[in-house]
Amino acid sequence: PENGWYRRARAAGTGRVAADGVEQDVTFTPADATVRGALDAALHAKYDRFGPAYVGAITGDDVLETTLRVDPR
């Protein structure tokens, strides 16, 4: 929440992201609590190999409050 990028994304609700040579205008919205289980499962599947300290910091109730859904505009 202290990151400048995150604060601007939350305040504006829109932005532009660039990845793999593609730029896209996007809308940022808070993540829906109903997807938390699926999101945590996907993060565990991808990052458990790095150990519990790493994946524990990016999953659970506390981080859902700072998770944004990113949709193309």
Which residues does 7 contact at the CB level (< 8 Å), separation at least 6? 1
Sequence spans of domains, the chain: 4-72
pLDDT above 80 (res 1)? no
Give CA angle at 70 (68, 73), nearest 5°: 145
Residue-wise pLDDT tens digits, 31-66: 888 988 999 999 999 999 998 888 988 898 888 888
pLDDT at residue 62 in the model: 83
Strands (E), the chain: 14-19, 22-30, 68-72
pLDDT at residue 29 in the model: 95
Residue 50 to residue 36: CA distance in whole angstroms: 21
Residue-wise pLDDT tens digits, 5-25: 999 999 999 999 999 999 999
- Residue predicted with more confidence, 64 or 1: 64
